[in-house]
Amino acid sequence: MTTHLFHDWPDSPHRNDHVCFGFILTFSVPIMATNLFLERCLFMSNQKQQKPTLTGQRFKTRKRDEKERFDPTQFQESIVQGLNQTGTDLEAVAKFLDSSGAKLDYRRYAETLFDILVAGGMLAPGGALSDDMTRTHFCLFTAPEDVKTMKAYAQVFNKLIRRYKYLEKGFEEEIKKLLLFLKGFSESERNKLAMLTGILLANGNLSALILSSLFNENLVKEGLSPAFAVMLFKSWISEKDINSVAASLRKVGIDSRLMELFPVNKRSSDYFSKYFTDAGLKELSDLAHNQRSLGTRKELQKEIQEQMSQGISFKEIIAYGREEIKKSSISEQKMIGIMWTSVMSSVEWNKKEELVTEQAIKHLKQHSPLLKAFTTQGLSELTLLLRVQEYCYDNIHFMKTFQKIVLLLYKVNVVSEEAVLKWYTEAHLAKGKSVFLEQMKKFVEWLKNAEEESESEEETDED
């Protein structure tokens, strides 16, 4: 057995270290065992030189504690105090709300904030004001019931939500809730809320999806839903035209549900039409009628396409179409539009522009009896030309095919010379106007020359 000091160890990488481990015994053992022994010695040395660490106790906040800290009392007192100071000056109210957002937690207490601005205090379920809370008399429900004041309040909400964008979703949820509470409000309060909601819908501050609250069974049963809808739509339509209102309703699928404002035993077209017409909202009545007609036309088109796919004769399809015109009070102009769409949807078109023209001419020539049957009026002919123009514009492979389609329809007596000239001179659509007019230029010139020659021949015969 041999003894060495650590720093005297031959060829040791730690020979110059200033740490002494005492004596190390060496035996005639494998080198791996010796290396393992050295590594353990170094590990023990490093443990003696541990770095200082920070110590402390970490607390976890429990969800139960967070809920307990939710207390809107102080928030409400601050808002109420500010509104009492600003009074009826809505410009001052808007400025107060703008500046208070930096100090008060609007995100946490959004519902409380909107309750106060609308009703003067926090609302209990059902729409009654909470008895144990501070209130203000300066709010929407205590304001004068006129359009000017409601527009001013709409501006207050608009400025607030534009300044604090995160309130947008909470505001929509608040309006949905308020609509469900209609029974708990007075008639005047309901009227003010309806006028305000209509203005906000017109301004784009709300989605028309909030109207789904009016389909609540209890509100419908009490007759509150249609009465509220009358005030709301009058306010909305006074700010925007009926087409804009229809587009907003259609976007969220509410346009097809308006009948649900009434109890099941009153959900008829006649009752709906009379109710809103008598209330001075014929535009809404017409909108619903058009919506029902659209549904009918879609079903009709689906049926005609089904008949074509089954190989039913043109004679039977024409008879079916004429019967539907009488039964559903559909005009011939609507029917020719349905027939055109059905004919063009009954085939899979070639994607190559040079081949689709030939395919289209062959297909339309074959189905021309269906189009001819529903173009007995000049207006129907013009309607068909417009549908052809629209189709060729929307389907880019047909852009160069327009003139050839019109020429075919003229040759097979589906459209007349008068209809073509009227379309060319004044009745065409803006879609692809320059392209299609250029295509039709030579054909129109030929028609005009033929017409002049015909008139000249008639004069000669008279002489």
Query: Which residue, 127, 126, 153, is CA-closest to 140?
Result: 153
Please tell me the predicted confidence (pLDDT) of residue 4: 47
Residue-wise pLDDT for 361-401, tens only, equals 999 999 999 999 999 999 999 999 999 999 999 999 999 99
Per-residue pLDDT, 2: 46
Task: Say if CB 186 and CB 128 are below 8 A apart.
Answer: no
pLDDT at 86: 92
What pLDDT score does 288 carry?
82
CA distance 405 to 414: 11
Residue 439 has a pLDDT of 94
- Contact assessment for residue 97 and residue 80, using Cβ atoms and an 8 Å cutoff: no
Q: Which parts of the chain register pLDDT below 50?
A: 1-10, 12-32, 48, 54, 56, 59, 64-68
pTM over 0.85: no
Q: What is the pLDDT of residue 9?
A: 44
Instruction: Provide the 10 A C-beta neighbour count for residue 57.
Output: 4
Closest CA to 213 of 161, 175, 264: 175
pLDDT tens per residue, range 230-252 = 999 999 999 998 989 999 998 99
The helix/strand/coil state of 153 is helix
pLDDT of residue 266: 93
Q: Which DSSP string do the residues of 343-405 spell out, in sequence order?
A: HHHSSPPPS-HHHHHHHHHHHHHHHHHHHHTT--SHHHHHHHHHHHHHHHHHSGGGTTTHHHH
Would you state the pLDDT for residue 419?
Answer: 95
Give the pLDDT of residue 313.
95
The pLDDT tens digits for 119-138 are 999 999 888 887 766 789 89
Over pLDDT 70: what percentage of the chain? 81
pLDDT 10s digits, 323-346: 988 887 789 999 999 999 999 998
- Say how many residues make up the chain: 463
pLDDT at 44: 56
| pLDDT at residue number 415 | 95
Measured between alpha carbons, how far is residue 204 from residues 140, 171, 191, 408 in Å? 20, 13, 20, 47
